[in-house]
Amino acid sequence: MPDKTPFARILPVVLALTPIGFLFGVLAGQADWSAWGVLAMALLGFTGSGQFTYLGFAHPDNAQMEYLAVFLIILGINLRYIPMSMSASTRIKGGAFIKAALAHWLADESYATERAPDDTRRRAVIRLSVVAFWTLSTVCGALLSGALPPAVQSLLSGMTFPISAILILLSIDNILAYLKRRGFEGGFKYRLHRQKLFATAACIAASLLCITVIGAKYFWLPAIALCYFILIRLGGDREETAHG
């Protein structure tokens, strides 16, 4: 993928993301949100999981909404962005506003698409493409929510699979890049590959354990910390990866 333009790299990702954005807009429209509200939420609230979660709590049937609890739940769901933002922002050049805006519009999909050699402009194209498609699809969903037949609305309500599929493939792509890299000495390639493979398998097991024990909402930081420790101890690598 490194020879493609940044927009060509992100295009299949945002096309697959569009039905999810449309679904959010449809559900928001059904909860009596205006298109302007959906637009503001997409641009300023920009977090797919957070938006769906808030929409669930903010349903008109939920009269006694506890905002602090909702804030803490959405914060817990999005804690994974802390290490992502730390590692992906090291290559962003420019003023504080540009850095803040690009950090705010960092998404799982853009993080997984960006590569080590990408400069600020290429990263901006990738991140802003995700924001643009997400915003457009959510607003379209809100505007068309009243006009969709019930069968289409029912079909859309179960469509989280495409976005999971994108994130799984992009994650695998990045993990394979790590597994294929040569060791820093260049002479122990086979041994280092086996080390990395073993370390990655141990990370998958650790992640599954954390989800089972802590739960899917709060496992992120402990699991990432545990996997980081495992990779440092067992992986033995010093070269650049996707966000180096």
| Touching other proteins, residues 108-147 (CB under 8 A) | 108, 111-112
- Gap between the Cα atoms of 223 and 208, Å rounded: 9
Q: Is 92 in the site for other proteins (CB under 8 A)?
A: yes
Residues in region 13-52 near other proteins by CB under 8 A: 13, 15-16, 32-34, 36-37, 40-41, 44-47, 50-51
How far apart, in Å, are the Cα atoms of 1 and each of 175, 204, 240? Answer: 15, 25, 16
| Closest distance of CB 148 from other proteins, Å | 16
Quote the tokens at residue 49.
Answer: 């999981």
C-beta of 104 vs 193, nearer to other proteins: 104
Tokens 């194209």, located at residue: 125
From residue 151 to residue 190, the character string flagging contacts with other proteins as x (rule: CB under 8 A) and all else as - is ----x--xxxxx-xxxxxxxxx-xx--x------------
How many residues belong to the site for other proteins (CB under 8 A)?
A: 92
How far apart, in Å, are the Cα atoms of 235 and each of 26, 178, 204? Answer: 45, 10, 14
C-beta of 185 vs 240, nearer to other proteins: 240
Contact residue for other proteins among 66, 119, 185, 240 (CB under 8 A): 240
The burial class, CB within 10 Å (0-12 / 13-18 / 19+), for 54 is: buried
Alpha helices by DSSP H, 114-149: 120-144
